[in-house]
Amino acid sequence: MNAPATLDRDLSADFPGLCTAEGKPWHYLDTAATAQKPRAVIEAMTRALGEDYATVHRGVYARSAEMTLRYEAARRRVAQFIGGQEDELIFTRGATEAINLVANSWGRANLKPGDRILLSQLEHHSNIVPWQLVARETGAEIDVVPLTQDHRIDLDAAEEMLGERHKMVAFGHVSNVLGSVLDAPRAAAMAHRVGAKLLLDGCQSAPHMPVDVEALDCDFYVFSAHKLYGPTGIGALWARGDILADMPPWEGGGAMIDRVTFEGTTYAPPPQRFEAGTPAIAEAIAFAAAADYVAEADLDTVRVREADLVARLRRELTAMNDVTVFGPDDSAGIVSFAIDGIHPHDLGTILDEADVAIRAGHHCAQPLMDYLGITATARASFGLYSREADVDALLEGIARTRRIFGTSG
């Protein structure tokens, strides 16, 4: 059992992925894409795949019954992590599938020609494309909210745009490119005032700040385990119980049924209604282990330390005349920037030679890149294991890249 993950010690020792094959520190600054995994998560998944493994919800033998209890306990733990109830939380393959589930189940049942969906300019493709698909099928239309000068969703503009024809508002809680944090309670109040639902993409908020879905007053909240230091292949959709009760199933098959005949089928109640097929058993257990680890680390403390790292990096980059830094000063764990005359891909490649990993590209947010008038950014993103040494290594790598390209700032 790992020691409690408190931030008064260097947490990098808990993460075997944070070193190179030669045993040197790997300065991992791509946590917004996917987080490294602590030993507690790796061990939980290994045990679930090994000596504890059995199917769930089906077997009458003891190990299956025990695994069923652990699987449902994982659901309860993940729901508690965001302030929800276990019967309100659906395990999905990730946040992308969770949004597609809402679009295909709630959207198809509730949207009709002339209805409107409100998105923002900074959304991840996963919070754009599913709505485009369902809008095409239902005849609904999409509106897009612009950004403020400091690259936040412009809620003043959103309030002016919202009307009674709007049925869904789907916003990123934290931008995966800009790190800007949405005033979610205000967005919820605005949506509800016109009778619309609010979906929050929480992929970048759940790992960086305490989340309470009741306090946020959203109707749907989605997030992925792998960005929360858990495994890939699993995520979650939280939704209000009364909304779930009225949503039809999206996928059909085992586990989501009550009774099947060729004349017709009746369905299980939520959340099982939305979990067709054999679930990701080991992944769910590891997801809960990740929630435990992050909770022990204390997200309030994590947020303060990440804010210090963000502030330092933004300060250093802003002092360089040839660097543009995007997003607000209080961005949540993310710093996106561009250096004149150096493509982000070139920067990322040269940094890799110095064991520094960043993300370079459009970050699955091409409409945002178009809005900003660029094709790509370099993005450094922090996690609870990030340290000042990571910022030092990044800045040294940028200086080396400048020397190679013969630029200065």
Kindly list the distances between the CA atom of residue 40 and the CA atoms of 31, 46, 79, 344, in Å, as whole numbers in the listed order. 18, 10, 19, 34
Q: Which one from 19, 203, 218, 364 is the annotated catalytic residue?
A: 364
Query: Amino acid identity of 268?
Result: A
| Element spanning 90, H or E | strand 89-92
19 flagged as catalytic? no
- Work out whether strand 356-357 and strand 334-339 pair parallel, antiparallel, or are unpaired: unpaired
Q: In 257-269, which positions are buried (b, 16+ CB within 10 angstroms) versus exposed (e)?
A: beeeeeeeeebbe
Task: Indicate if the alpha-carbon torsion angle 399, 313, 24, 352 is positive or negative.
Answer: negative
Other CB atoms closer than 10 Å to residue 213's CB: what's the count? 23
Q: What is the C-alpha separation between 278 and 261, in angstroms, rounded?
A: 20
> What is the distance between the alpha carbons of residues 81 and 303, in angstroms, rounded to a whole number?
16
User: d(Cα 188, Cα 368) in Å, to the nearest integer?
Assistant: 23
- The separation between CA 300 and the C-alpha centre of its own chain, rounded to angstroms, equals 18
Cβ partners under 8 Å of residue 23, min gap 6: none
Provide the token pair at 184: 């979610």
Which residues have C-beta within 8 Å of that of residue 52, sequence separation ≥ 6? 63, 66, 67, 70
Positions marked active-site: 364
